[in-house]
């Protein structure tokens, strides 16, 4: 149990376009999901906390207008990278918090974004 | 605030040798501690977790970790390394409902 999926696993887009990444909890309902960014050979950087039915909470230094997060249902959160630039190229990972265990998160497989 | 420090960005062992990956934490409240493994171009998989029960925690794939409050440590060990253990390992502490990750340790296993 506790499976989290991400789609797509890999995406290439042109500079200036937008791209949407989906994060789904497949077998549990997640009121809270998290979006992380990972640079090559680096640790995970928390970008934002996504709460179902409310606005996301962004970490300091993360542009909320650039990285749009929507958590429209208990099993789906989306991250849209708007007007993407090459510096947005990265590995994006989502996680979902298990509903009855506040400290436990399950991670998706990640999405590799390349902006050309 | 919570933080973790992983000593050694790279650890090299021979197949069959003991694996020891170090993690020290800082927390203003009793911590929940985790070890995750990441294979290339994949997400994170939970190896084990400490949640204030037993101080010696056993995880998947033969890994275990011991919570030592006096040393503020949560080191990860495995008695005998396998080639398939080569990956990136992250220690994390749960604070204010968020996970704070260490910088990671790459485990290299040679035949």
- For residue B5, whether the previous peptide bond is cis, meaning omega lies within 30 degrees of 0, is no
Residue B95 has pLDDT above 80, yes or no: no
Is B36 in the A-facing interface, judged by CB distances under 8 Å? yes
What residues of chain B, 84 to 103, have a C-beta less than 8 Å from chain A? 90, 94, 97-99, 101-103
Task: Suggest the residue from A49, A58, A97, A103 to mutate for an interface test with chain B (most B CBs closer than 10 A).
Answer: A103
CA dihedral B46, B50, B54, B55 (to 10 degrees): 110
Is A98 in the B-facing interface, judged by CB distances under 8 Å? no
Is A60 in the B-facing interface, judged by CB distances under 8 Å? no
- Output the six-digit token pair for B102: 């260490």
Cβ-Cβ contacts under 8 Å, B93 against chain A:
none
Question: How confident is the model at residue A1, as a pLDDT?
Answer: 65
Q: What is the pLDDT of residues A55-96, one digit of tens each?
A: 899 999 999 999 999 998 899 999 999 999 999 999 999 999
Q: What distance in Å separates residue A108's CA from the closest CA in chain B?
A: 6
| A105 contacts B99? CB cut-off 8 A | yes
What distances in angstroms separate CA A52 from CA A95, B58, B72, B83, B101, one per listed residue?
A: 14, 34, 35, 41, 24
| A105 contacts B45? CB cut-off 8 A | no
For tokens 């989306």, what's the residue?
Answer: A78
Cβ-Cβ contacts under 8 Å, B51 against chain A:
103
Under the banding of pLDDT at 50, 70 and 90, the label for residue A102 is low
Interatomic CA distance for residues B105 and B88, integer angstroms: 6
Least confident of A47-56, A101-110, B84-93: A101-110
Question: How confident is the model at residue A40, as a pLDDT?
Answer: 80
For tokens 């933080």, what's the residue?
Answer: B3
Cβ burial of A40 (10 Å; 0-12, 13-18, 19+) is exposed
What distances in angstroms separate CA A77 from CA A26, A28, A48, A111, B58, one per listed residue?
A: 12, 13, 11, 14, 32
Report which DSSP code applies to B70. Answer: T
Q: Give residue B7's Cα distance to chain centre.
A: 11
How many residue pairs from chains A and B have C-beta atoms closer than 8 A? Answer: 43
Per-residue pLDDT averaged across B47-53, rounded?
88
| B45 contacts A43? CB cut-off 8 A | no
CA dihedral A40, A41, A42, A48 (to 10 degrees): 40
Q: How many residues does chain B have?
A: 111
Question: How confident is the model at residue B6, as a pLDDT?
Answer: 95
**By the 8 A CB rule, do B91 and B27 touch?**
no
Beta strands (DSSP E) in A8-116 are: 10-13, 19-25, 32-38, 44-51, 57-58, 67-73, 76-81, 90-97, 105-107, 111-115
Question: How confident is the model at residue A19, as a pLDDT?
Answer: 97
Q: What is the pLDDT of residues A14-60, one digit of tens each?
A: 999 999 999 999 988 888 999 999 988 788 899 999 988 888 999 99
| A43 contacts B44? CB cut-off 8 A | no
Under the banding of pLDDT at 50, 70 and 90, the label for residue A5 is very high
Of B32, B44, B49, Cβ closest to residue A107: B44
Residue A100 has pLDDT above 90, yes or no: no
Question: How confident is the model at residue A43, as a pLDDT?
Answer: 85
């Amino acid at each position: 149990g506790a499976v989290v999926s991400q789609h797509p696993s890999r995406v290439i887009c042109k500079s200036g376009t937008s791209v949407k990444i989906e994060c789904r909890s497949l077998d549990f309902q997640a009121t809270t999901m998290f979006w992380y960014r990972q640079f090559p050979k680096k640790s995970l950087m928390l970008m934002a906390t996504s709460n179902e039915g409310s606005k996301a909470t962004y970490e300091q230094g993360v542009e909320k207008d650039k990285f749009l997060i929507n958590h429209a249902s208990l099993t789906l959160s989306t991250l849209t990278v708007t007007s993407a630039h090459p510096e947005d190229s990265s590995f994006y990972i989502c996680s979902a918090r298990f509903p009855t265990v506040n400290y436990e998160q399950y991670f998706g497989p990640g999405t590799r974004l390349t902006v050309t | 605030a919570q933080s973790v420090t992983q000593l050694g960005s790279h650890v090299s062992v021979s197949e069959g040798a003991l694996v020891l990956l170090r993690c020290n934490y800082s927390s203003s409240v009793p911590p929940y501690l985790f070890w995750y493994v990441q294979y290339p171009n994949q997400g994170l998989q939970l190896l084990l977790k400490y949640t204030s029960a037993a101080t010696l925690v056993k995880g998947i794939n033969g890994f275990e970790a011991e919570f030592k409050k006096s040393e503020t440590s949560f080191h990860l060990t495995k008695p005998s390394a396998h080639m398939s253990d080569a990956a990136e390992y992250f220690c994390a502490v749960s604070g204010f409902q968020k996970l704070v990750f260490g910088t990671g340790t790459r485990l290299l296993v040679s035949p």
